[in-house]
Amino acid sequence: MWAIRVTLLALLGAFVGADSFLLRHRREYSRFAENTALNIALVVAHLVVTCALVTLPPAKGWNARPGWLQDGGVYIGFAATGATLVCAGIVVALLALRQRRAIGLQHAQAGLVTSNVYRYFRHPIYTGVLWVSLGLALLTRNPDGLMVFPLIFVAYLTLMLLEERHDMGVSFQGQYQAYRQTTRMLGPAWLWIAILGAIVLSAVSAWI
């Protein structure tokens, strides 16, 4: 299964490379970069790849999970946290798609989107994808999925930084800098602290 995971990680890297290329050559490829249907298809592709990365069976099989992942407290805690993340991630991503219907690129003529879900997340679509993938890894208590999630996080962080550098930061300049001052990339810090706290408490319950 790790061969498949490595292939999927390479595909995710290709997504990052393609996005970077479109951002650097936006004028030549604006017809593709700003196509609503294509952008929605890309969101679906991102979800499929990331979900596959965290839900593929562990290399040693489901019955070979570490003992702490089979603990009842961990099962309940991870299930509750995972289900919450999956539902919240889907809602956040759908709200962003409904409002903007694009991944990464924004139309300078339409103005910078900062209302509704974008008031709290600079990158709500990617945040949603990350929450869904982490939630599925927790729901399935997949050791390999949990191991690969940090790589998924780094890939999306790279993607977000590229977009801010080559798209929004260029198109909106001072306005985007002001937006960055008030809105975090992946939402309020307390949300991520709460997520991490729930995961740690659930994991620690195996030794209590």
- Cβ–Cβ < 8 Å for 53, 136: no
Residue that is written with structure tokens 């996005």 in the block: 19
Which of these, 107, 89, 83, lies nearest to 46 by C-alpha position? 89
Distance CA 140, CA 150 (A): 17
Residue 50 buriedness (CB in 10 A; 0-12 / 13-18 / 19+): buried
Cα dihedral 173→176→180→182 (10° resolution): 130
DSSP string, 102-156: -SS---TTT----SGGGGT-SSHHHHHHHHHHHHHHHHTT-HHHHHHHHHHHHHH
Q: In angstroms, rounded to a whole number, what is the distance separating the alpha carbons of residues 182 and 1?
A: 42
Domain count, the chain: 1
Query: What does the angle CA 196 – CA 198 – CA 203 come to, to the nearest 5 degrees?
Result: 95
Which pLDDT score is estimated for 172?
A: 81
Joined together, the tokens standing for residue 154 give 């780094």
| Domain containing residue 50 | 2-207
pLDDT at 107: 54
Residue-level pLDDT, tens digit, the chain, 208 residues = 789 999 999 999 998 888 878 777 766 666 666 677 777 788 788 889 999 999 999 988 888 888 888 888 898 999 999 999 999 999 999 998 887 655 555 555 567 888 889 999 999 999 999 999 999 999 999 999 999 999 999 999 998 998 888 777 777 878 888 999 999 999 999 999 999 999 999 988 878 7
Nearest to 126 by CA among 98, 146, 150, 97: 97
pLDDT of residue 105: 53
Residues 129, 135: Cα–Cα separation, whole Å: 10
Comparing CA positions, the residue from 107, 123, 105 lying closest to residue 24 is 105
